[in-house]
Structures are given as C-alpha cells and as structure tokens.
C-alpha cells in the first residue's frame, strides 16, 4: 500500500494540473467566477498536501509536520465549500459577502495550534462541511435521475472524505506512516473519481447548478401549457434546426417559446429530466450522428461546426459523453461493410 500511496500522490499532482487547465476554464464557469477561483484554490491545496505526502512517504522528508502543511489542511474544506455553494445554492446572493471571511478563521488559527491538535481539528472542521454537503445534495434528490451515475461517483468521494475525517481523529493512534499512506491514497482515489465523473459528463457542474435552480425555486409553470410548449420546442429544434446556432442560449430559446429563462429551465428539468446544456448537446450530437454517416467525406471538425459546436474539443467531449466513443470511431463503426 505504501507504493500505491506514492503512485497516487504523483497521479494527484498530474490530475490537479490537468483539471485546472481543462476544466476550470472561464467559459465553463462564466456565471460563477468565484466558483472557478475557489476550485483552483482547492486543487492547489490538495496538490500541496500530496506533495508533502510524497516527500514524507518516499523521501523521508517530514513536510507533513510543517506549519504550511497544517495550514493547508484547513484550506481544503473552506475552499470546497466556497466552490460548491454557488452551484448547489443558486438561490443565495452571489458575489462576495463579508460573512464569508469567517471561513478563513480556522486557517488563521492553525499557527497557534500545536501539531498534535491541529490535524484532528482540521478534520473536525472538514466533517462539518461534509454535513453541509450531504444536506445540500439530499435536497437535490428529485433531480438525481438525470445524472445518477455521476452523482454515484461523487457520492464515492463523499464516503472517502468521511472515512478520512474519521481517520484524522485517531491518526495519533495509527502506527508509523500509516495515516499519511491512507490519506494519500484517499486523495488520489478522489481525483480518479472526479476525472471519471467529468469524463462521463464534462458539463456536470453546470448541470448540477441548473438542477439546483429548479429544485429551490417556486414553480413558475402554473400558467404554462407544458405539453404544447414541449411540442413547440421540438419543432424549433427539429424542423428549424435551432440547435445549430452556436450562439444559442437559454435566454434566446426561452424568448422563442414566449417563456422566461427560469420557466424554460424548470420545464427542461422537471419534464425532460435534464438541464439546458445537456438538452442542447444531445440535439447537436444526434444531428452529428446523422451527418457523419450521410456525408462520409466531410471532416469531423466540419461536422461539429455544422451542428453548432464552436470547437473540436467541445464536440469530441460531448460526443464521447453521450455516445461513449469519438465521432471518428462512430463513423468508422457505422460505415464498415456489413458481414453477409
């Protein structure tokens, strides 16, 4: 297990860098810039912990006994909270609030705590944030059917975090480097589950945010003929090909349907079980499937652009998420000569 912990510590450093560059982009968190910044801070803190674990487990350098390590322990939970809050609680005021400075208090108190007290205290604080997370996810239970596999992976991360919090309280009783070995493994496994969840659903954070907005809001569909609106929506997408407009947004589509953006978001979540971004990607990928077969000479990039994607990477991510393969693999599989 010692060697596995060292390998997972190294993997965590690579994964943190990859997620920072590929996932926490400005366009992916346009509505929640604070979440993007806190997400990157969280990655930095976890990478710092894993670097200290690697130094201790592989090089016998006691970085885990240093003040920077103890302070970083107190950064993880508040950074995660400030990352997740705008997504899970969109009904709360956005932007900076003075009360959020209270989340810095444990970090500032860490230097005053002895090493034997600081580590258990950090995990007690983390357990408190886990309770908040469990409560927030429970309130989204009605929307989980739209992304139950991904939520299951994130639930695995929750279980790992809960187990680490328990180990942190008794770490002084564990022999040798066992606690740090287990902690390094836990962080590495958490990174792996996050990569799997985002690999299946690159837009998962925005979809969770859309589901949260629908879950917390008072219904606005009382005066809307939902069945008729669904038919109009299908006509706009199928007959008018509105999905191919690369600039199409929730607000633009809502205007065509004589709805408010919130009404359309609620309609999609409650009637179709998906958010706007997922809904739009499915239409575009469906059109791409047809075009890949009907126009075998067209390049994969031109197909993606024709159905509304603005970049090849976005097209590949969406196609792989929905079809489980790349556009090129799909075309090759479906254009292959059939056996007699």
Is 306 contained in some domain?
yes
Buried b (16+ CB within 10 A) or exposed e, 25-44: eeebbeebebbbebbbbbbe
The predicted-structure confidence for 237-291, as pLDDT tens digits, reads as follows 998 999 999 999 888 999 999 988 888 888 888 788 788 888 999 999 999 999 9
Question: Average pLDDT of the chain?
Answer: 82
Task: Decide if 217 is inside a domain.
Answer: no
Q: Is residue 83 part of a domain?
A: yes
Asked which of 164, 188, 211 is the last residue of a domain, the reply is 211
Least confident of 122-126, 155-159, 176-180, 326-330: 155-159
Q: What's the average model confidence in pLDDT over 124-139? A: 76
Residues 205 and 58 in one domain: yes
Both 201 and 137 in one domain: the answer is yes
Residue at a domain's end among 162, 187, 211? 211
> Would 329 be classed as within a structural domain?
yes
Give the tens place of pLDDT for each residue, 171-187.
767 787 888 898 899 88
The answer on 284 and 194 residing in a single domain is: no
Confidence bin at 53 (pLDDT 50/70/90): very high
Q: Which domain holds residue 239?
A: 223-335
In a domain, 34, yes or no: yes
Q: Are residues 124 and 234 in the same domain?
A: no
Span 296-304, average pLDDT: 92
Residue 216 lies in a domain: no
Residue 339 has pLDDT above 50, yes or no: no
Provide the pLDDT for residue 309.
93
pLDDT score of 14 more than 90? yes
Domain contains 316: yes
Residues 194, 234 within the same domain: no
- Share of residues in the chain with pLDDT > 70 (%): 80
- Same domain assignment for residues 170 and 33: yes
Mean pLDDT calculated for residue range 96-120: 78
The CATH number assigned to the domain holding 173 equals 1.20.1070
- pLDDT exceeds cutoff 90 at 212: no
Judge whether 218 lies within some domain: no
The pLDDT confidence band at residue 211, using thresholds 50, 70 and 90, is low
- Among 159, 187, 211, where does a domain finish? 211
User: Which pLDDT tens digit goes with each residue over 84-95?
Assistant: 887 777 656 556
- Asked whether residue 43 falls in the same domain as residue 166, the answer is yes
Residue 331 banded pLDDT, cuts 50, 70, 90: very high
For residues 256 and 184, membership in a common domain is answered with no
Q: Is the pLDDT of residue 340 over 50?
A: no
258 shares its domain with 171: no
Total of domains in the chain = 2
Task: Name the least confident of 32-36, 132-136, 203-207.
Answer: 203-207
Q: Does one domain contain both 70 and 6?
A: yes
pLDDT at 242: 93
Mean pLDDT lowest for which of 53-57, 297-301, 332-336?
332-336
Question: Do 106 and 125 form a contact (C-beta atoms < 8 A)?
Answer: yes
Residue 216 has pLDDT above 60, yes or no: no
Q: What is the pLDDT of residues 55-83, one digit of tens each?
A: 999 999 999 989 999 899 889 888 888 88
Q: What's residue 319's pLDDT?
A: 92
Predicted local confidence at residue 135, as pLDDT = 74
- Please check whether residues 132 and 21 belong to one and the same domain: yes
pLDDT at 134: 74
Does residue 181 sit in the same domain as residue 229?
Answer: no
Domain at 317, CATH number? 1.10.10.60
């Amino acid at each position: 297990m010692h060697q596995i912990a060292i390998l997972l510590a190294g993997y965590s450093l690579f994964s943190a860098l990859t997620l920072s560059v590929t996932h926490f982009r400005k366009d992916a968190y346009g509505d929640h810039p604070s979440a993007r910044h806190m997400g990157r801070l969280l990655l930095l803190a976890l990478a710092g912990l894993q670097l200290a674990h690697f130094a201790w487990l592989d090089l016998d350098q006691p970085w885990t006994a240093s003040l920077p390590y103890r302070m970083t322990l107190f950064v993880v939970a508040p950074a995660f909270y400030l990352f997740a809050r705008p997504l899970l609680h969109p009904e709360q005021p956005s932007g900076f609030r003075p009360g959020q400075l209270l989340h810095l208090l444990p970090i500032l108190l860490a230097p005053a705590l002895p090493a034997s007290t600081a580590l258990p205290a950090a995990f007690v604080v983390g357990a408190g944030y886990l309770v908040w997370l469990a409560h927030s996810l429970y309130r989204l239970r009605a929307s989980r059917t739209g992304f139950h596999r991904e939520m299951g992976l994130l639930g695995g991360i929750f279980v790992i975090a809960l187990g680490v919090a328990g180990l942190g309280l008794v770490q002084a009783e564990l022999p040798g480097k066992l606690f740090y070995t287990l902690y390094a493994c836990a962080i590495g496994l958490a990174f792996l589950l996050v990569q799997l969840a985002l690999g299946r659903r690159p837009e998962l954070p925005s979809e969770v945010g859309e589901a949260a907005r629908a879950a917390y809001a008072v219904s606005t569909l009382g005066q809307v003929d939902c069945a008729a609106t669904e038919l109009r929506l299908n006509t706009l997408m199928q007959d008018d090909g509105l999905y191919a407009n690369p600039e199409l947004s929730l607000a633009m589509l809502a205007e065509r349907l004589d709805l408010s953006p919130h009404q359309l978001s609620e309609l999609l979540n409650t009637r179709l079980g998906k958010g706007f971004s997922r809904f739009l990607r499915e239409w575009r990928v469906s059109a791409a499937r047809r075009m890949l077969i009907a126009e075998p000479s067209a390049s994969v990039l031109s197909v993606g652009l024709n159905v509304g994607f603005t970049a090849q990477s976005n097209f590949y991510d969406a196609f792989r998420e929905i079809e489980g393969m790349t556009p090129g693999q799909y075309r090759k599989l479906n254009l292959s000569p059939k056996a007699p």
